[in-house]
A and B are shown apart, each in its own frame.
Chain A
Amino acid sequence: EEASGAGKKDSAISSTEFDQFLTDRSAASNVPSISAQTGNQARNTR
């Protein structure tokens, strides 16, 4: 069970914009990305 309202955690990052950035990057990691290291693998769809 989750204990909610137990008090503020110090771990939260103050910048919600940065938090959103991290969330976006994390989500991007779930799809094949074209990076310097993966090269053009994504082109080989067929």
Chain B
Amino acid sequence: QAAPAAPVRQSEENGIQRFFKIPFARPADEYRDDGEKKHGMWYAHFDGKYIARQMEVYPDKEPVVMVAGVDDLNMCELSLEETGLSKKKGAEILGRDFETEWAKGKGPEYLKKNANKVSSKFLQKRLGIYLVYKL
């Protein structure tokens, strides 16, 4: 029996997983020689409406990875709709592209280390965490 093909967007019961990449450079900087290189890139994984993972990649620093439930103070607190990211052309990237960058930033290790604090249901499932509430 063949398993059904994986959808392009991984849908979970709590929402759709979407991934974005945005340069830190402001629009005016995009036309400068060192604009993108100087400011780096901002990556995000939204689990439904809210951010689940955030990563900041700078040209001269180690990537910084953040996970909702652990690093909330430094993460985007706006909903996906409020960010306007879904309307921004070229901002959305494939999950596999995000995961590639996430792995480069040692995200999987960081995620495992903080598995008990992760708030994203999608990530909890991926980590094998199933919260069981007894009534």
Using a CB–CB cutoff of 8 Å, the interface residues on chain A facing chain B are 9-15, 17-19, 21-23, 25-26, 28-29, 33, 35-38
Q: Produce 1/0 per residue, B60-79, CB < 8 A to A.
A: 01111100000100101010
Pick from B63, B64, B83: contact of A18, CB under 8 Å: B83
Q: Report the separation of the CA atoms of residues A18 and B26 in the bound assembly, to the nearest whole angstrom.
A: 12
Q: Return the chain A residue nearest B39 by Cβ.
A: A26
- Choose one: A17, A18, A25, A35; the contact of B85 (CB below 8 Å): A18
Q: How far is the CA of A37 from the CA of B96 in the complex (A)?
A: 23
Known contacts A29-B61, A29-B64, A36-B65; 4 additional CB pairs below 8 A are: A15-B84, A19-B26, A36-B110, A36-B113
Tell me, yes or no, whether B106 is within 8 Å of chain A by CB.
Answer: yes
| Contact status B78-A29, CB under 8 Å | no
Query: Interface residues, chain B, CB within 8 Å of chain A?
Result: 22, 24, 26-27, 30, 39-40, 42, 56, 58, 61-65, 71, 74, 76, 78, 82-85, 87-89, 106, 110, 113-114
Q: Is the CB of A13 within 8 A of B84?
A: yes
Question: Can you list 21 A-B contacts with CB-CB less than 8 angstroms, sorted by A residue number?
Answer: A9-B27, A13-B85, A14-B88, A15-B82, A15-B84, A18-B78, A18-B85, A19-B26, A21-B78, A22-B24, A23-B26, A25-B24, A25-B42, A26-B24, A26-B39, A26-B40, A29-B61, A29-B64, A36-B65, A36-B113, A37-B64
A26-B24, A36-B110 are known contacts. Are A18 and B84 too (CB-CB below 8 A)?
Answer: yes
